[in-house]
Structure 1
Amino acid sequence: MKILFLYLMSLFPISGDNPASFNLSNGVEAKGEVGRQLERYLTYPKILRDKNRAGIVVIRFYLTDGISIGRVKVFSENEELNSDLIRQLTGKKLLLKYSDPLYPHTVKLCFKRGE
């Protein structure tokens, strides 16, 4: 099943973050620097794929050492979805202009079933 992110955007954009959209050959569209980097790591969550569902999920994470994603919190009531997204993101690297380990990054993920 093809993945299509309608958009992936920071809810609290970093000053100077590039708002341009990036349309990539894998069917993923992401907005901003955070979205452009996160889309490399994410695949369509298994629970959504198995149930042929789409959805919107909000996540929050910190860059624990200034570049590594950690302390991921998924704001969903589905524990399987939460675990899948946490597993996909924890430990991955992001290079951001503002990388204070005490600063939470909140992102809205939109998953849409591909044709």
Structure 2
Amino acid sequence: MTRSISQKALSVFIGESYQGDFVRALLFCAAYMAAIWISVMLPNPAQGGGLAVLFGGAVSIILGVGYFILLVLARAVRTKVILSNILKAAALGWMFVFPWLYLLYLVNA
């Protein structure tokens, strides 16, 4: 059975097991922390980031845990296909929407 391109792209964000989901949540936290640090440090490196980086680190941990919980719930109800797909879509939305809103706030502040 061959997988379509969209299924291959989706497997980058959603793992094949609970462990894969956990690793992806950790990578999501690390990438988001790096993005916050870069977005704060590039405009004014002498400032050092301060509270924005600390708050962003706390937010990235919360977002990573939420992302992992949504993926675990989607995996737990995989027999109910529609609910599982809704939870996977919510996890992807959670992963992309909230972090970028915070980064836009940091850049415009």
TM-score by length of 1: 0.27
Question: Structure 1 or 2: larger strand share?
Answer: 1
Bigger radius of gyration, 1 or 2? 2
TM-score by length of 2: 0.28
Question: Structure 1 or 2: larger helix share?
Answer: 2
